[in-house]
Amino acid sequence: MKDNFRKIVYMLVSVFAFLFAASGVVYAETKEGTINIGEGYQTGAFIITWDNEEVKGTVTITAPDGTVYSAKKTPDYVSEDFGMATVGVPKVPAGEWKVKVSGVNLGTIHVEFGRLPGAMNIDSFTVAASGAKGTASLSVSDSEPEVQIEIFADTDTTGFDGERVFSQYGAPNGKFELDLSGLPSGEYHFYVVLTKDGTWSREYASEPYSYHSPTADKKIAAVGGNYNGGYYLRWEFDPDNSRNYLVRVWDEDMNLVASEELNDENFYYNDFDADQNKVYMAVTYSYGNCDYDLIEADKTAGVDGNVIFDIDDSITNRGFIEAEVTFNGNMQLICYLNGENKLEESKTGTYRIELVEGSNNVTFELTDDKGNMQDFVKEISLDTYPPQLSISNDINGTVTPDDHIYVSGYTETGAVLTINGEKVELENSFFNHKAGLTDGKNEIIVVARDKAGNESRYKASVERNDVKEKKENRGWLIAGIAGGVLLLLYIFMFIRAKRRDKK
């Protein structure tokens, strides 16, 4: 009722009017007046305006039976705005009505009352159709004997922006024949609009209607369902077709929620909205009249199967990967390697896929008999080439008296380097390592290992021979012997001298 009153306040069937005159400068004040309505009406409206359109006022109207209408008590019937207020009255008894207006510097206040046409309450509205003909059944109460009747076909239940399929001026109750031949095949929500003397009433039918034109082109074969948690539609691509394809998506209440035109494609994907549990899809040509089948996608549905790959890493030097595929029920299995179909099966098992050098996208696609589909994807790189390893100075065959030797060089980024099993830290892929030596022959093994497990090796034999140290030891020995000889000679000479003295 509120909507009607606010739409038609300037189109009153009959008007009674009076005004409160302004008297000098007025500040916050309340003015009161009365208006006599000689006969009762089903519905009516008061329009109150004031000269100062830049301020709002507060309006209270009291009916002869004591019913009070105000923004506080009856907000559905009262609208207060800058420069004016409107009050709708659902039932207007005859008698004296009191009007009270409060505000600041309102100026002269004008009050008008008018009778409104009937509310045109739409009690029921349904549509049934067969072929290109439809029948609308309409029941309306509180209406003028004749009104303008229009019926529209909409793609959803919002906006009242559909295509008109019927128009007539007459009694609003009864059955009305609809011509649907101008509509393309689709899911429709019919609504009716009743208008009379500037007021209107409108309402959607409670049930959607699926219309398939008898003159439509043949259907495009398609499958679809849940796909990796979203929904998809796939159809047969016709290379001889010059028209684009049109994919339409409806929600559970058959409101059109998506429409996309596609060219040179035969696949459509989208994600479920947070509040969506189910959608319906169809594909037709982008123009012309084309029939279709509705294909359902349920968010809670999914493929009852699994694929487990035998390699967890993202890089390998093994030339193949194996996948264990398990599922329940009927299932179609397709394996793609970098987009190329490599395998089609319908049974469980372990399947081997040969890899190519470089990047590999391995996708196992499972599709059940309801059209639900799920991808199991493995991104893996095959690298069979050993990493680069460069030694700055070849130390193989080196003989040194030192107890160590330096091994230096370069290996590729990402490789792990060890020397005799000890991990060596790299600086920008360069290394310079001090390797300890023992007496005799020493084996030096340098290994560079990349992420795929490939290895490059360098092996060297280094001999430690400490000649200087041996010479030094021999000198000390000779000196010791010479010293001992001199000592013995000295002792001999000393004893001999003593004997001469005694003689």
Residue-wise pLDDT tens digits, 440-489: 999 999 999 999 999 999 999 999 997 555 555 555 556 666 666 666 66
Q: What is the pLDDT of residue 207?
A: 93
Query: What are the E-state strand segments in 63-173?
Result: 68-70, 78-81, 84-89, 95-104, 109-115, 121-130, 133-141, 147-154, 163-170
Q: What is the pLDDT of residue 24?
A: 44
| Average predicted confidence (pLDDT) for the chain | 88
Interatomic CA distance for residues 148 and 138, integer angstroms: 13
Interatomic CA distance for residues 161 and 181, integer angstroms: 19
Q: Which residues contact 23 (CB under 8 A, 6 or more apart)?
A: none
Token pair for 265? 């494609």
Beta-bridge partners for 362: 337, 378
Interatomic CA distance for residues 333 and 353, integer angstroms: 14
Q: What is the pLDDT of residue 472?
A: 52
Q: What is the pLDDT of residue 130?
A: 80
Q: Which residues contact 378 (CB under 8 A, 6 or more apart)?
A: 309, 311, 321, 323, 360, 361, 362, 363
Structural domains in the chain, sorted by start: 2-115 (2.60.120.380), 121-211 (2.60.40.2060), 222-298 (2.60.40), 305-382 (2.60.40.10), 389-465 (2.60.40.10)
Number of H helices, E strands in the chain: 2, 40
Of 18, 51, 13, the closest CA to residue 34 belongs to 18
Token pair for 101? 């207006």
Interatomic CA distance for residues 449 and 416, integer angstroms: 5
User: Which amino acid, 322?
Assistant: E
User: Which amino acid, 313?
Assistant: D
Mean pLDDT for back-to-back runs of 10 residues, the chain (503 residues): 36 50 58 87 86 93 94 92 91 92 91 80 91 91 91 94 96 94 93 88 94 89 94 88 91 95 91 94 90 94 94 96 96 96 96 97 96 96 97 95 96 96 96 96 97 96 76 57 65 59 54
User: Which amino acid, 142?
Assistant: D
> How would you list the strands of the sheet with 430-436, edge to edge?
389-391, 404-411, 430-436
> How would you list the strands of the sheet with 278-285, edge to edge?
256-262, 245-250, 278-285, 295-298
Q: What is the pLDDT of residue 22?
A: 47
Token pair for 394? 């070849």
Place of tokens 């006599």: 36
Q: What is the pLDDT of residue 10?
A: 36
- 478 SS3 class: helix
Within 10 A of 86 (CB to CB), how many other CB atoms are there? 21
Q: What is the pLDDT of residue 483?
A: 64
Reduced 3-state DSSP string for 150-170: EEEEECCCCCCCCEEEEEEEE
User: Which amino acid, 435?
Assistant: A
Q: What is the pLDDT of residue 470?
A: 52
Torsion angle of C-alpha atoms 163, 166, 172, 175, degrees rounded to 10? -120
- 121 SS3 class: strand
Residue-wise DSSP of 173-236: SEEEEEE-TTSPSEEEEEEEEEEETTEEEEEE-SS-EEE--TTPBPPPPEEEEEETTEEEEEE-
Interatomic CA distance for residues 431 and 140, integer angstroms: 93
